[in-house]
Amino acid sequence: MDALVQLSDVTKRYEDDEDPALAHVTMDVGHGEPVAVMGPSGSGKSTLLNLIAGLDRPTSGTIRVGGQQVGTLSEASAARFRRRQVGIIFQFFNLLDDMTVADNVLLPAQLAGVPAARARARLDELLIALRIEKYRNAYPARLSGGERQRVAIARALVNRPPLLLADEPTGALDTVTGDEIGALLLELNASGQTLILVTHDPALAARYSKRVIRIVDGQIEDGAPAVTPA
């Protein structure tokens, strides 16, 4: 399987005199692969996700997504990279409270300059697929946690990114709703969507991914292949 995401000896330090949040991480993720990154709180999972998404820069090492060096991109290039290559789902949804569901979902398409008609068509498609079409004009504050996360997933997918990054996507949801969101992610993966799922829940990792990468104290723990088997 070709690697969509490749990390080579990646280290991230927030302060020079502190231990690194990530140390010498090497891993890759193949096209269409569902991978779970697991570890306790503060282990460096979210840092890893931020680096892959180009939201932050590594202190050393290289990160490639779709063949593109992410760690050295300028802020503007990183923004353009995120529009096209990455969809991000956050634990606490990170929806914009003052925008309707439709406006939240459309935002990445509008920033990317997607023609309005095409963006609208994609919006309709996603709202129906995620079963939130009736909330199109509602504000996030009026939605349940599960509904908000569906909106966040729709927003992450609106530009059809090859890579979906999910940071504890069920962490703020009750069990039933969490299962629904997990199933939704599996459906997406089944349709060929590459998925990197960050979680501290082993059951979730086992259920929704085919490979689990364990991180402890910023380092990948042995026992699970960090590199996709050939």
Partner 1 sequence: MRAVRTALRGGLAGRRAQALAIGLVLLATCAASTLAAGLLADANAPFDHAFSAQHGADAILTVNAQRVSATELAATARLAGVTAATGPFAEAIVTATATVPGGPGVVQFQALTLAGRSSPGGPVDDIVLSSGHWPTATGQIVVSRDLADQGPGISLSPGQVIMLTGEPGSPKLTVVGVATSATDTADGWVLPAQITALGPPQAEQMLYRFTSAGSGAAVSADVAAVRRALPAGTVLGAGSWLTVRAQEAQNIAPTVPFLLTFGVIGLGVSVLIVINVVSGAVVAGTRRIGVLKAVGFTPAQVMSVCVLQVAVPAVTGVILGTVIANLLAAPLLGQTSRVFVVSPQSIPPWVDLAVPLAMFALAGIAALVPASRAGRLSAVQAITTGRAPRPSHGYAAHRLLSRVRVLPRPVTIGLAGPFARPGRTLVTFAVILFGAVAVTFGVGLGTSLNRVAADLALPGAGQVQLGLPGQQGPPGQAPPEPPSVVAAQEADMTGALRAQPGTLHYVTESKGQLGVTDMAGTASVTAFGGDASWIGYPLIAGHWYGDGGAIVNTAFLNATGKQVGDSFTLTGDGRSATLTITGEVFRPGNSAVVLTNLSSVAALDPAARTPQWYYVALRPGVNPQGYVNAIRTRLPTGVSQQTSTAGPLLPAISALILILSLLLITVAGLGVLNTAVLMTRERVHDLGVFKAVGMTPGQVIAMVVTTVAATGLIAGMIAVPAGIALHHAILPLMGNAAQTGFPAGIYNVYNPPELVLLALAGLVIAVASALAPASWAAQARAATALRAE
List residues near partner 1 by CB under 8 A: 50, 53, 55-57, 75-76, 78-80, 82-84, 88, 90, 94-100, 103, 106-108, 110-112, 116, 139, 141, 155, 159
Spatial distance between the Cα atoms of 90 and 87, rounded to a whole number of angstroms:
10
Q: Which is nearer to partner 1, 50 or 199 (CB)?
A: 50
Q: Which is nearer to partner 1, 103 or 221 (CB)?
A: 103
Residue in the block written with tokens 């349709």: 191
98: helix, strand or coil: coil
Burial class of residue 117 (count of CB atoms within 10 Å of its CB; 0-12, 13-18, 19+) = exposed
**Nearest-approach distance from CB 24 to partner 1, in angstroms:** 20
Residue in the block written with tokens 């689990």: 212
**Nearest-approach distance from CB 123 to partner 1, in angstroms:** 12
**Nearest-approach distance from CB 196 to partner 1, in angstroms:** 15
**Nearest-approach distance from CB 127 to partner 1, in angstroms:** 16
- Other Cβ atoms less than 10 A from the Cβ of 144: the count is 12
Residue type for position 177? T
Q: Which is nearer to partner 1, 29 or 123 (CB)?
A: 123
169: helix, strand or coil: coil
CB 194 within 8 A of CB 162: yes
Q: Which is nearer to partner 1, 96 or 190 (CB)?
A: 96
The residues facing 25 across adjacent strands are 10
**Nearest-approach distance from CB 106 to partner 1, in angstroms:** 8
Q: Which is nearer to partner 1, 152 or 226 (CB)?
A: 152
